[in-house]
Amino acid sequence: MNKLLFFVALLSLAGCKDKFDIPLRETDKSLLVVEGTLRVGQDATVITLSKTVNVNETVKFKPVLKAHLTVEDKNGGSVVLNETGNGTYSFFNLGLVPGNEYRLRIRTTDNKEYLSGYVVAKTTPAIDSISWKKENGDLFIYANTHDNTNNTKYYKWDFDETWEINSFYAASYQYVGGSTVIYSPLYHYRCWKYDKSTVINVGSSAHLSSDIISEFPLLKINAGSEKISVRYSILVRQESLTKKAYEYLLLMKKNTESVGSIFDPLPSDLKGNIQCTSNPEEGVIGYLTASSLTQKRIFITRSDADWRFSQDCLDIQYILNNPDSIRILMPGYRPIDLITKNFKEYYMSAVPRCVDCVTRGGNLAMPSYW
């Protein structure tokens, strides 16, 4: 397997966003990438199939469509996953039995067959808490969990972030174009933004006498970030791993995080538990696991964290309330209020980012959990 192409695959699977330009030969293979976990319990199983791409290609994600995916029980029985679009295949509640062994069979439209090894369905303990603390103005978020049976030992976490942002000014008017301004209380004042984990978070208690994970670092929020300018939430998901899956992901983490210099070592020859049975020499990227999922959400407000956040929004423009002034000057500003100065009406206005939270990338729809 070409290591440079394999390296690109690692970046894709790990969610790394950094660009690493290495010229690749036209003869390099396009390898199958398998992402996802067989879910134990009431959660949906979602498997994503894609092909590796060269770093110089404009398309960064190549989904594998119209494949046939089957989850097989070692004790007999199977379930076919449903194609849901863009390379994803899913099934709600596979009915996996903890302790039993399962595998994934994939057949693509070019008649290639891929088969994972059998994996044990594991039960994931609950997340005890999501904690946080401030150091030197930055805020750090941690996961805490334990397993009284001492059967888990290897863990993986990912998360979704949501935060509310408010405009610096609460506008009472809206510029709709041309020479028209309308009354619109709290115009685009509250918005929400979203992000998700893009690095591999795995931890182990195997070196401890008890199966306890205390303050595993998930995320650092830099001082002054808008994420905690009003209210912030993080939903953390936890799943259990086998030792081999943990070692695979840990090595992948090391490989993807050693980006940044041509003097960094090339990625290790990482082998998962999925093989192309129709061509054993062909590489496959991915490691299939089977486990239940536990999750926990917390909220942090600006006052909770004593958070310092500021916007440069003190530059006010006063635009005369007449059609010509509005048409010429208002396109670069947003009206806040209508005031009277020296017996003339003016729209007190500011640049869009200080009045309209949508211009800062915000979404106006309040999430259901807010």
For position 261, what pLDDT does the model report?
A: 47
**185 token code pair:** 């209380």
Q: Are 218 and 141 in contact (CB under 8 A)?
A: yes
For position 13, what pLDDT does the model report?
A: 54
Collect the ranges in the chain with pLDDT lower than 50: 1-12, 16-28, 260-264, 266
The whole-model pTM stands at 0.86
For position 112, what pLDDT does the model report?
A: 95
For position 30, what pLDDT does the model report?
A: 84
For position 256, what pLDDT does the model report?
A: 76
For position 26, what pLDDT does the model report?
A: 45
For position 246, what pLDDT does the model report?
A: 96
Q: Are 143 and 238 in contact (CB under 8 A)?
A: yes
Domain ranges of the chain: 3-123+238-292
For position 23, what pLDDT does the model report?
A: 42
